[in-house]
Amino acid sequence: MNKFPRSAYVHIPFCHRRCFYCDFAVIPLGKKVEPLGGYGSKTIKEYLHFLHKEILSIKHKSPLSTIYVGGGTPSILDPKQIRELIHIFKENYGIDYGAEITMEVDPASFNEEDLYGFIKAGINRFSLGVQSFNNHILQKSGRRHLREDAEKSCSWLKRVYDSGLIKSWSLDLIQNLPLSGFKEWQDDLKKAISFSPPHISIYDLSIENGTVFKKLVNIGKLKLPSDEEAFKNSELTHLILKNSGYSRYEISNYCLPRHQSRHNRVYWSGLGWWSFGQGSTSSPWGEKLTRPRVSKDYKEWVIRQYKFNLDFSLTNKDFIYKELDEKIMLGLRLKEGIDIQKVFKDQNWETTKSETTFSKLIEEWERFLDDGLLIKKGNRFFLSDPRGMELSNQILISMFKWWDKIN
């Protein structure tokens, strides 16, 4: 295979503060950040110096078809800093004509002038982290923005999209946050749709170790929607978005025609990608490499990349995909599912081994096929929508058990 990655993820770790559910590698800088020459600017400039250094360290470069600037809160940066970042890729890797260049933005971290500055810098797709339009829910989740901030941000993005200045934009919500009952979630969905975003991501709340939410759960002070309420919320999501013209092309992602995230499909399809920045994970040829999550360790790691040879996962070689269970998991998340036999073939498994392994997987999945949660057409499996997608964890857990058995 031996193809050069055509996608790059860039991690900007800065946030005003850490949300109560967040376990990402972020650096909270407080409320008043001035990225070019005030409070927090020294920290930002030092990080960008090492980030640029890492981007330039790659020896085997090829023009990129997607770039994704995530975080953290990338919109804390000044448009000039975003422009410099895009310029480095353009001059040293090349950027395809028609490339998708996405940036995450957060309400209350940018204004309309900044938005036009980001577009001028080369961003043509935005992902807006609203999470909720309900002030009580936002406050309970540790979010900094308010409903009115989210509404203004949506209006600005709708305006630049309708004007043809950007290719697309996405609105992100989190399902089953504290205080988010059936009515509150219905209100959030309807408000989101009122801005006609071409793409909507609906993420289920996950309680992660080390977060404020995890600590509150441990002491019994976090009230979350029950399993029954959560399932009702999921059914409501499917119904409202489907009736509004959105197609569910991945478990957590809905879009209008021709607005799928090209960058995220790279991950789900098991293709290779570059990744740069503190705590980010790259997989250019199948081997994953996660950078240090702590700033000091990350900077020392970047220096070592220059002084010594690049990490083996970053050097040009034949593509491999060792995590077969992960490949199946990612494929199942997509609407079109995955051809299991092709996965085995890509691993160069002999026919006998493939057939034996395949039959064991069928045994594991038989009850889900009978219940209609999983659908099989030939060798291709995919989750039914909505029930299979909503109950996908049961199917994936059984697959991981199968993988453990055969290993």
pLDDT in tens, the chain (407 residues): 457 899 999 999 999 999 999 999 999 998 888 888 888 899 999 999 999 999 999 988 899 999 999 999 999 999 999 999 999 999 999 999 999 999 999 998 999 999 999 999 999 999 999 999 999 999 999 999 999 999 999 999 999 999 999 999 999 999 999 999 999 999 999 999 999 999 999 999 999 999 999 999 999 999 888 888 888 899 999 999 999 999 999 999 999 999 999 999 999 887 889 999 999 999 998 888 999 999 999 999 999 998 888 888 888 766 665 678 888 899 999 999 999 888 888 777 788 888 888 888 889 999 999 999 999 998 899 999 888 998 899 999 999 988 888 87
- The verdict on residue 185 lying in a domain is yes
Ramachandran class of 365: left when φ > 0, alpha when ψ lies in -120 to 50, beta otherwise = alpha
Residues 359 and 244 grouped into a single domain: no
- The verdict on residue 141 lying in a domain is yes
Which of 268, 288, 303 represents a domain boundary (last residue)? 268
Tokens standing for residue 318: 């034949």
> Given this model, what pLDDT does residue 183 score?
94
> Given this model, what pLDDT does residue 345 score?
82
Residues 348 and 229 grouped into a single domain: no
> Given this model, what pLDDT does residue 318 score?
67
CB atoms within 10 A of CB 154: 22
> Given this model, what pLDDT does residue 71 score?
94
What range defines the domain where residue 87 resides? 7-268
| CATH for 394 | 1.10.10
* CA angle (106, 109, 115) in 5-degree steps: 80
- The verdict on residue 276 lying in a domain is no
- The verdict on residue 307 lying in a domain is no
Token pair 């001035």 is found at 34
- The verdict on residue 311 lying in a domain is no
- The verdict on residue 301 lying in a domain is no
Whole-structure pTM value:
0.94
- The verdict on residue 383 lying in a domain is yes
Q: Say how many domains are in the chain.
A: 2
> Given this model, what pLDDT does residue 1 score?
44
